[in-house]
Amino acid sequence: MSLLEICQWIQDTPIGTSIRESVWVFPIVEGTHVLALALSVGTLLMVDLRLTGFIMRDRRVSEVSKQIVPWSLAGFIIMFITGTLLFWCQAVKAYSSVYFRIKLAALLLAGINALVFEFRTRRTIVSWDTAPVPPWRVQMAGYAGMILWACVIAAGRTMAYNF
């Protein structure tokens, strides 16, 4: 069974068909996806801007992160669930879309950036937590996060308008 056939099967399940054909469910799922994206990425942007030293220079990175990341995670969970439902009802179109592939690649790279930050860069937070402008490697994690999430959003929105 090819990947395209699997996507066709996913899309043709009763859940996929009912989401796609519903007058209300699809727009509600898509609207919720966009709102969760704003919550997740909007709050992550605050952390990334602090990591780059652009905002909240007088606050510890750990303090900013502790207050904001739970909101980002909540938004990401909702975004992941709704994104899965959107894929479920349009899997064949997504499979055929270059923008979907770009979005997935950017999501993967954003995830890798976050994991590297959490498991390597954050280990040294004691030495740069209070710095108005953190070290170069910390700033690069912030810049990478902003660029990758901008790519995810641009590819996702472009994909939606090309279906």
**pLDDT tens figures, 137-149:** 999 999 999 999 9
DSSP of 48-109: HHHHTTSS-TTS-HHHHHHHHHHHHHHHHHHHHHHHHHHHHHSHHHHHH-HHHHHHHHHHHH
Pull the structure tokens for residue 157: 């929105």
Distance CA 104, CA 91 (A): 13
Whether the CA torsion 113, 145, 148, 101 is positive or negative: it is positive
State the CB neighbour count (10 A cutoff) for residue 110: 20
Domain encompassing residue 13:
3-161
Q: What's the predicted TM-score (pTM) here?
A: 0.92
163: confidence class by pLDDT, cuts 50, 70, 90: confident
Query: Does the pLDDT value for residue 136 go beyond 90?
Result: yes
Q: Which residues contact 122 (CB under 8 A, 6 or more apart)?
A: none
**What interhelical angle do 136-161 and 25-51 show, nearest 10?**
160
Tell me, what amino acid is at 74?
Answer: A
Query: Does the pLDDT value for residue 5 go beyond 90?
Result: yes
Helix/strand/coil percent split, the chain, to 5: 85, 0, 15
17: confidence class by pLDDT, cuts 50, 70, 90: very high
Average pLDDT over residues 31-59: 97
Count: domains in the chain:
1
